[in-house]
């Protein structure tokens, strides 16, 4: 692609992003296939959109792995999968007190959202109770913190119970395109994941759903999963880069380059101009010294460690954020721009409830 063609493409993408319009497939494909020598132009263009809707704020999130390993699902990318030989920590449910203690330290370090994660196909009723107790313990100590649950596939009514327990959001990633999904998992389907995000939305939980890249997907797969996520209209979109654990089917895949990761982040900023885009797992090992450029595209990242791998010390990330001229978003600040806050609210009073109607 010539410099003139790249300039024209980025001009069109920026104008659409600022107007909250979705790029065409052709524009997305051209962006992903652009040359590395134009990566600073790509970052600069997408950064205009990031600044327009999120300023220079960076939201910090923290993961609490409440149950690690021993999962019956066979997701090829996951170190906790059925048959994994990865030498990870494996344990059953930690106590609500231990989870809340981890959350409390993260909140003190600047985390605005705590993500409670458990391996497995989906939660049993007893596990919903466990998570509810943990949410209560966290909220008792820090009422303003956002709590996101990530427990796998949900059955009917479970999202309502999590919402009633005080959960603010639910994460369930689509991970890759519908066409590619069967190549990375055989124990559940892409449609199962879409349904679970729908269950969370219907219950009034803020939907969080993203993808994983570096699994051998094509540019078309990246575009397809971006469009599928756009259809779900999540409030936050985590962008993960494969952590290739030895002992998993994808343990030998090191396909990503820093420039490739930045183009993917830029694509998602163009597709989701006013949505929280999060640099998630794998940013340290794939973006490496270019993580600062990633901040000009994503307005959110994870603080500290991930589910089964270690992240950077929090001091290093906070220093990176400050050195790049960004500021950590405070608990009292609104992440999404005002127009993203829906005027439609699920009825929870009046007929069929114990709360008087709004009359």
- pLDDT band at residue 340, thresholds of 50, 70 and 90? confident
Residue 121: both structure tokens together? 């196909």
**Residue 336 burial (CB count, 10 A):** 16
Q: How far apart are CA 59 and CA 302, in angstroms?
A: 8
Give the separation between CA 326 and CA 137, rounded to whole angstroms.
Answer: 31
Distant-in-sequence, close-in-space partners of 13: CB < 8 Å, separation ≥ 6:
23, 27, 31, 45, 46, 270
Where are the extended beta strands (E) located within the chain?
Answer: 57-67, 113-118, 146-150, 169-171, 206-208, 211-213, 236-241, 276-279, 300-302, 327-328
Average pLDDT over residues 202-217: 97
Report pTM.
Answer: 0.93
Question: DSSP of 12-29, one letter per residue?
Answer: HHHHHHHTT-PPPHHHHH
Is the pLDDT at 209 greater than 60? The verdict is: yes
Q: What is the distance between the terminal CA atoms of the chain, rounded to a whole angstrom?
A: 61
Q: Among 74, 86, 72, 87, which residue's Cα sits nearest to residue 248?
A: 86
SS3 of residue 332 by DSSP: coil
The length of the chain in residues reads 359
User: Token match 């919402």: residue?
Assistant: 163
Using DSSP's 3-state secondary structure scheme, residue 83 falls into coil
Q: What is the pLDDT of residues 30-83, one digit of tens each?
A: 999 999 999 999 999 999 999 999 999 999 999 999 999 989 999 999 999 988
Provide the pairing of β-strand 146-150 with 113-118: parallel
Is the pLDDT confidence value at 170 over 90? yes
């Amino acid at each position: 692609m010539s410099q003139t063609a790249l300039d024209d493409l980025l001009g069109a993408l920026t104008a659409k992003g600022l107007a909250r319009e979705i790029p065409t497939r052709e524009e997305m494909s051209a962006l992903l296939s652009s040359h590395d020598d134009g990566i600073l132009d790509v970052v600069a263009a997408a950064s205009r959109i990031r600044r327009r809707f999120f300023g220079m704020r960076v939201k910090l999130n923290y993961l609490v792995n409440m149950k690690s390993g021993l999962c019956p699902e066979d997701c090829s990318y996951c170190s906790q999968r059925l048959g994994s030989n990865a030498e990870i920590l494996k344990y059953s449910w930690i106590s609500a007190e231990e989870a809340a203690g981890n959350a409390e330290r993260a909140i003190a370090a600047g985390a605005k959202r705590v993500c409670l994660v458990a391996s497995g196909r989906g939660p049993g009723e007893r596990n919903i109770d466990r998570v509810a107790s943990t949410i209560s313990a966290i909220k008792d100590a820090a009422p303003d913190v956002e709590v996101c649950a990530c427990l796998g596939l949900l059955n009917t009514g479970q999202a309502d119970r999590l919402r009633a327990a005080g959960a603010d959001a639910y994460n369930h990633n689509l991970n890759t395109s519908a066409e590619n999904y069967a190549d990375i998992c055989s124990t559940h389907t892409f449609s199962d994941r879409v349904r679970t995000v729908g269950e969370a939305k219907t219950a009034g939980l803020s939907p969080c759903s993203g993808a994983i890249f570096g699994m051998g997907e094509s540019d078309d797969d990246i575009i397809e999963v971006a469009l599928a996520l756009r259809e779900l209209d999540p409030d936050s979109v985590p962008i993960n880069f494969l952590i290739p654990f030895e002992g998993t089917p994808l343990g030998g895949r090191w396909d990503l380059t820093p420039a490739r990761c930045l183009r993917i982040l830029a694509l998602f900023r163009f597709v989701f101009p006013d949505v929280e885009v999060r640099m998630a797992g794998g940013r340290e090992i794939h973006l490496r010294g270019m993580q600062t450029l990633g901040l000009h595209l994503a307005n959110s990242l994870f603080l500290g460690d991930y589910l089964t791998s270690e992240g950077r010390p929090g001091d290093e990330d906070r220093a990176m954020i400050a050195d790049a001229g960004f500021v950590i978003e405070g608990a009292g600040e609104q992440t999404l721009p005002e127009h993203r806050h829906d005027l439609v609210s699920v009825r929870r009073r009046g007929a069929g409830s114990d709360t008087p109607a709004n009359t």
